[in-house]
Amino acid sequence: MSTQALLTPYHKNLNVKNRVVMAPLTRSRAANTDNKPTADLHAVYYGQRASAGLIITEGSQVSKCAVGYVNTPGIHSKAQVEGWKIVTKEVHDKGGKIFIQLWHVGRMSHPDFHNGDLPLAPSAINPNEQSYTPEGFKDTVAPKAMTKEDIQTTILDFQNAAKNAVEAGFDGVEIHSSNGYLFHQFFNGTSNHRTDEYGGSLENRARFFFEVLDAVKEVIPQQQIGARFNPSLNGVFGMTMDEETIPTFEYIIKKLNDYDLAYIHLSEPFTDVSEIPFAVENIAEHFRPLYNGTLMINAGFNQESGNKVIASGNADLVAFGKLFISNPDLVERFENGYELAKWNEDTFYTPGKEGYIDYPTFKEQEQHA
């Protein structure tokens, strides 16, 4: 049998043993007192999945201002750094490689997370969604439009988080610029009504992201930085595509050719965009010719389609999400043609071990059959 494209090594900047990437997945298992990862949960969970070519952690807040969900980890305090050190050691001891995703949710939050203060965003526009707070789901509010001082503080927060990631032993960082969160809110004309240098033109709407990227690469080599984007996100978290959406992402992706990043991480559409005239239905195929570096693709891939997209040349790496939740040995299952285990959506975000670290490998499953 010919070697699967997914199982071949990749050596440009990343130097990974295979092209099967564990996608960032919010699982809400962090300690509820200080948002730190724990040895008995996070270290075990990520260690179980260390056969992936690369693990990208769940989104981790760069500051207290960045929080928007309960029990999600951060990378801005000493306790959080110490917690992540245990995780990275476990993954490295098992031969794995791990990046941390740096996260700021922007307006997708609630005053309950911020001592009653408003969440930060490019403009004071309510996404009209719901935020999962310690007291359950609550309606979002109109956020505070960020001042230039807020923007500069946030740039420093990302830089400090990247510095902390290095101290915690991570192999790199991924800047979460996707899925309707803070950077995406700046990119999108429906959520960014600013009239200063951070709004209006597509160059202006991308400015904040590039200022953060430039600050982050001062503390970690750019070959250890990835960035995630979702160009055809529509109808999620108040994001609505318009005629400038795809040109904005084309501008960003082309400009990233001036950097030497570990990768860019793109998502295929989360919803049906076939009737939106200015949307792109096949993200990998559209953006591959625009970017000279490593391209990772995500959303809805299985073993067959993952092998196909790499073999076609439209992507170099494929990130798998839900399949990694229920198959800690996903690489081995691909390699041997083992049946894949189904995931349980009811335990995606619940506290504790169930649905988190209790999915058996195929071999463990067979032993107990």
Cβ neighbours around 369 below 10 Å, total: 5
Interior/surface letters 127-161, b for 16+ CB within 10 angstroms, e for the rest: beeebbbeeeeeebbebbbbeeeebeebbebbbbb
Half-sphere exposure of 69 (CA within 13 A, CB side): 20
Q: What whole-number distance in Å separates Cα of residue 68 and Cα of residue 72?
A: 9
Greatest Cα-to-Cα distance within the chain, rounded to the nearest angstrom: 64
Residues 6+ apart with CB under 8 A from 184: 177, 178, 191, 229, 230, 233, 239
| Amino acid, single-letter form, for residue 273 | V
SS3 of 102, please? strand
Half-sphere exposure of 94 (CA within 13 A, CB side): 21
- Please, what is the Cα angle at 227 between 147 and 350, to 5 degrees? 85
Q: Could you give the residue numbers annotated as active site?
A: 181
Cβ neighbours around 240 below 10 Å, total: 14
